Homo-oligomer: A and B are copies of this chain.
């Protein structure tokens, strides 16, 4: 797999948060419910992201998590680096240690090119970009739920 499960969950939650443009904190429980991710697992992942300064947390009622963008847009790369580290972008396709152009493996040229494609994609795509697109076209963020599920808050209430 390209990205670890943790990383994918981190990205999904980040996209959720990117739909809230104000400073509103979203409780992890709400995100885990909407995104169908284990609450405790998501908590650990978001703790990593707040530790990295990508998000901010606040305890107690009306608390939760929000993006800590200081006006700047967040590229997907930030999330990936925070959770999966830089392996994907630095490691050898053949698993050899201390990769580099000095002592390359036979795959190096081709792999370096492919890897740059991945890097560019992650660097040039931002959370808000995807979140806006997702809201406009009601794209999928879960097995069968589009972005709209992030907003209709009381679908489980009794009528």
A side interface size, CB within 8 A = 42
A53 to chain B, nearest CB (A): 23
Q: Does A12 contact B (CB under 8 A)?
A: yes
Q: How far is the CA of A153 from the CA of B130 in the complex (A)?
A: 56
Q: Does A143 contact B (CB under 8 A)?
A: yes
Question: Are A95 and B5 within 8 A (Cβ)?
Answer: yes
Question: Are A114 and B106 within 8 A (Cβ)?
Answer: no
Q: Does A72 contact B (CB under 8 A)?
A: no
Residues of A at the B interface (CB closer than 8 Å) are 1-3, 5, 8-9, 11-12, 15, 87-88, 91, 93-98, 103-108, 110-111, 113-114, 117-118, 121, 125, 130-131, 133-134, 139-143, 147
